[in-house]
Amino acid sequence: MSPQNPTVNVFEAASLIQLQTGTWQASKMLNDDEIKPLADPEWVKGRKHLVDPDFLAGPRKVITRCRKYLGMIALPFPVTGLLLVAKDTISSIDKYLTERREQFFEEVSLIARDYPQAREEARSYLQPRNLWNERDYPEEIIPLYTLSWRYLDITVPAKLQQLAPEIYKRELAQFEALMNEAKDVAVAALYEEVSALVDKMVDKLGVEEDGKPKKFKDSLVNNFTDFFATFQDRNIFANPKLDEIVEKAKQALTNVTPDGLRQFPDFRQKIKSEMEGVKQIIEDANVDLPRRKFKLDRMDMAA
């Protein structure tokens, strides 16, 4: 395969992002001595919360928001823990994650401030039940929390060609296989996403068993708007069939509002019919999401 092949050169238009997070789990497996007063340890296993779980919810909610955001703007990549993002979106991604990181550590500072009180409340509950252990509790909370990210490219080291041409040839083949799988995974994920949106709209614009129109939330339309807003950046491999599907869906939903669908039955039926046409195109494409995860062995990851 030529080095100019667009599949191999995916990193000319895209990069990888790795989001790294850490929180205090604040739970611990019960040991046998703790379980014995309650049940037979041979039959019962369990965990105990070290503090009220709600007390630690703030940073975890921020992490959830970050992962949801990346799920909307990035594409899956066949190496666990990595996502594929268009290079044109990196500035906006960095801005968003930087703001969320500030929010994250604001939440962590609140936990650190109230940690002594939360620990005493836990003591008051756990100690009478012989479940309290001072050693379960870290002295410092803040170092247990992290929210960071980095951008990576995967390359075959050029020096391998000079030192061992046969190894370089093997590594290049592995690299090309990874790039081809990345393309399959990314394209199929977009198919799966638009297919789920279309299926839901076709279903929700139908009727119940009693003949009454099904109820739906505004998100039925708004989720399409969000998808359209990020699609061009995410369609890194410029798949023409995907372009056709998304364009037809976009045309069908131009000037469509949730209230309009609710108030005008004929209009509702018209949109349902048009989306059924989009659904048929998707079904004819017959794209399956690859299930195999590529194993990264010797390839270098350069930040």
Q: How confident is the model over 93-146, as pLDDT tens digits?
A: 999 999 999 999 999 999 999 999 999 999 999 999 889 999 999 999 999 999
Confidence of residue 230 (pLDDT cuts 50, 70, 90): very high
Q: Distance between CA atoms of 190 and 75, rounded to whole angstroms?
A: 8
Tokens of 147: 């929210």
Using DSSP's 3-state secondary structure scheme, residue 81 falls into coil
Q: Distance between CA atoms of 128 and 118, rounded to whole angstroms?
A: 16
The pLDDT score that the predictor gives to residue 287 is 59
Q: Distance between CA atoms of 103 and 226, rounded to whole angstroms?
A: 24
Task: Name the phi and psi angles at 180, rounded to 5.
Answer: -65, -40
Confidence of residue 268 (pLDDT cuts 50, 70, 90): very high
Q: Which of 20-34, 167-181, 238-252 has the least mean pLDDT?
A: 167-181
For the chain, give the mean pLDDT. Answer: 88
For the chain, what percent of residues have pLDDT higher than 70? 89
Candidates 70, 38, 91, 65; CA nearest to 230 is: 70
Task: Name the phi and psi angles at 7, rounded to 5.
Answer: -70, -45
The pLDDT score that the predictor gives to residue 286 is 67
Q: How confident is the model over 34-68, as pLDDT tens digits?
A: 788 777 777 888 889 999 999 999 999 999 999 99
Q: Which residues pair with 151 in a beta bridge?
A: 17
Rg for the chain, CA atoms, rounded: 26
Confidence of residue 163 (pLDDT cuts 50, 70, 90): confident
Q: Which residues pair with 16 in a beta bridge?
A: 84, 152
Q: Which residues pair with 75 in a beta bridge?
A: 84
Q: Is the pTM of this model over 0.85?
A: no
**For the residues 173-195, what does the mean pLDDT come to?**
89
The pLDDT score that the predictor gives to residue 288 is 53
The pLDDT score that the predictor gives to residue 174 is 83
Confidence of residue 291 (pLDDT cuts 50, 70, 90): very low
The pLDDT score that the predictor gives to residue 9 is 58
